[in-house]
Chains A and B, each alone.
Chain A
């Protein structure tokens, strides 16, 4: 099963190496990893999607806690969360497919962010499934380039 871990770490050089080194050395499987500074500039948050059963996740969490640079590990899979990914997709476009593509982009609430003679660049946010579905549709037109951020997630506020 996939788990989303929010790992609050020090914002220092070498921290990413410590985290990624831990995962590779102990053969934990990272599905995606997104890093950014938090509102506190001395801390970063890493959103790590990791594959494994509950025992593996327990070990990952404990091993992460052992790193001095790690302040907090939250398993967001146990909580109600909002999660998002951002994708940028450049698709081949022809006169006769242009309208179709634009309509699809609209349905998925994406945005066209760049326009070329024979290609379109689309920005799309959403959860993984939504982006997967969009990517599948675009494949029929021909994807020239695709980048995805990996999942970022945040716990929902209590109502």
Chain B
């Protein structure tokens, strides 16, 4: 009996049925799917991929040994996707990640959703069980193309190795053009071993796929007229401005016209934080002035945004009600999805803004500016300096000491919002955060991806003790690849953001927010070979930051933060901006 059981197990394990010497030798000798795949990746300019091996990927990992592509091994497949995601956001290239079938692929789902929500170009490669076992609930089989249908721009299940060159070509093209997004290629084990005789297609042939680049000239003239005639215009800039490298054109526009601009969380960095026309972030934890400006404006110039409910409070009929809306976006489906646009312009933000610039006349906005400046005076972003270690103070110090070229990645929670509010971002693609999905655990692998994209830049991870523990195993990755990431841990001993909500809206009936068994993070770091330092006092902040920055390797700063700190101002979801909490003293 025992034997039968064992045989069954062996029979179900692909490592036993597929990795016999003979089949290995067979697939090594010919130009197989795995080699074709890697050749295509090289042709697409891929330098590194973040991956994690497994049974169905053995042929591919064998071929990788002979490829110029560098493989990075994070300690979890979710980290592989997040790292590729941040690599793409920082470098502007397509990020590539790889995982084995079944659990490996399933572990990537959150990462794929994260990239999809923030429109990040990724090519996600997953191993799959051999084609003859597809659909039989075989060992480590999941229908990953099915599971990720709603969170990919497109996906392929490769059934014929000769399709690999074409599919890889298409995948990179789809991921990086139009509105970017993740494209998944599911690669059955036998397909990677099968011989490939096809060659790389000259051109991508996707007759059903179109995207817009230049905006409609008539609409642009309409927009120019509306802007020239407006009295209270506001630009509402989002991630699309960064994706299309429209920051410079946008600056030219707002400077020429002297109009104010607000950004979304994704739009941070599109305009330098010190720009006098910038009113700050809009939305739930945005500045009061940014929100009042949007609420009161007569013309909302929305560029590369999607009217997310963190901005509109989910109240589409009460959002910017006095305004005419110009909506510039590359995705036609975003126009009119939430808020009706009076002047829709489908196109690439940079090209549209470039066309718009020479056509607009300077509107008369001095009264509007008086109002805006008065609001800024009345409602500055502020925090109480109470002799304790304030998170805001740490972020301001980081901005001073870190320098303009530093890349900051964040996790999700209070520390993320404080970073968005108080860390001065001067350059596009230098503030990397999980905005649409709000994925705790994103920040650390994102810092890894960012460091690979910019090996010579300072990379800071701003994280919380909850989020950090969702990816803490990546300490090993930073050590293995000598990544000198500086970890700014805002350690409040709680799931701060949830605690804040329970405090403000559930009568302080706290539940499941206490992280009782938190480890000594400095010791954990040291166990991995990462330097660590605990910081308790305000006066220790600057010396500690300098010490961490000067240290050549990864460094963890464990900042003791009070759990009572709150993120303010706050427009509770479902409320309009006039119901903002904590706007004034």
* A interface residue numbers (CB < 8 A to B): 10, 14, 17-18, 21-22, 25, 55, 58-59, 62-63, 65-72
Contacts and interface: CB of A to CB of B under 8 A. Distances in A.
A58 B335 CA distance: 10
Given A14-B145, A18-B149, A62 B206 contact: no
B337 A70 contact: no
B154 A68 contact: yes
Nearest to B145: A14
A148 to B, nearest CB: 28
A22 B174 CA distance: 19
Nearest to A69: B208
B165 to A, nearest CB: 18
B209 A17 contact: no
Contacts of B154: 67-68
B149 A66 contact: no
Most A CB contacts (10 A, CB to CB) among B146, B153, B209 go to B209
Nearest to A9: B208
Given A59-B333, A66-B331, A71-B207, A14 B157 contact: yes
Contacts of A65: 332-333
A1 to B, nearest CB: 18
Interface of B: 145-146, 149-150, 153-154, 157, 174, 206-209, 331-333, 335-337
B146 A63 contact: no
B250 to A, nearest CB: 25
A45 to B, nearest CB: 14
14 contacts: A14-B146, A17-B146, A18-B149, A55-B336, A58-B336, A59-B333, A62-B333, A63-B333, A66-B331, A67-B154, A68-B153, A69-B208, A70-B208, A72-B208
Nearest to A72: B208
Most A CB contacts (10 A, CB to CB) among B145, B154, B332, B333 go to B333
B358 to A, nearest CB: 30
Contacts of B332: 62, 65
A55 B337 CA distance: 8
Nearest to B149: A21
B145 A68 contact: no
Given A68-B174, A69-B208, A59 B337 contact: yes
Contacts of B145: 14
A66 B333 contact: yes
A67 B206 CA distance: 12
Given A68-B208, A68-B209, A71-B207, A21 B337 contact: no
Closest 6 CB pairs of A and B: A62-B333, A71-B208, A68-B154, A21-B149, A25-B150, A68-B209
Nearest to B174: A68
Contacts of A69: 208
Contacts of A22: 150
A10 B206 CA distance: 11
Contacts of A62: 332-333, 335
Most B CB contacts (10 A, CB to CB) among A59, A62, A70, A72 go to A62
B13 to A, nearest CB: 28
A23 B207 CA distance: 23
Nearest to A21: B149
Nearest to A13: B157
A94 B367 CA distance: 86
A72 B207 CA distance: 10
A17 B337 contact: no
Given A21-B150, A59-B337, 12 more contacts: A10-B208, A14-B145, A14-B157, A18-B149, A21-B149, A62-B332, A62-B333, A62-B335, A66-B331, A68-B154, A68-B209, A71-B207
Contacts of A55: 336
Most A CB contacts (10 A, CB to CB) among B150, B174, B208 go to B208
Nearest to A25: B150
Contacts of B335: 62
Contacts of B146: 14, 17
Contacts of A68: 153-154, 174, 206, 208-209
Nearest to B340: A55
A68 B209 CA distance: 6
A71 B331 CA distance: 17
A67 B181 CA distance: 12
Given A62-B333, A68-B174, A17 B207 contact: no
A68 B177 CA distance: 12
Nearest to A68: B154
A117 to B, nearest CB: 42
A66 B181 CA distance: 12
A22 B208 CA distance: 17
A17 to B, nearest CB: 6
A55 B146 CA distance: 29
A53 B154 CA distance: 28
B178 to A, nearest CB: 9
Contacts of A70: 208
A67 B207 CA distance: 12
Nearest to B207: A71
A63 B331 CA distance: 10
A10 B209 CA distance: 12
A92 B206 CA distance: 53
Contacts of A21: 149-150
B387 to A, nearest CB: 51
A94 B260 CA distance: 81
Contacts of A17: 146, 149
Nearest to B333: A62
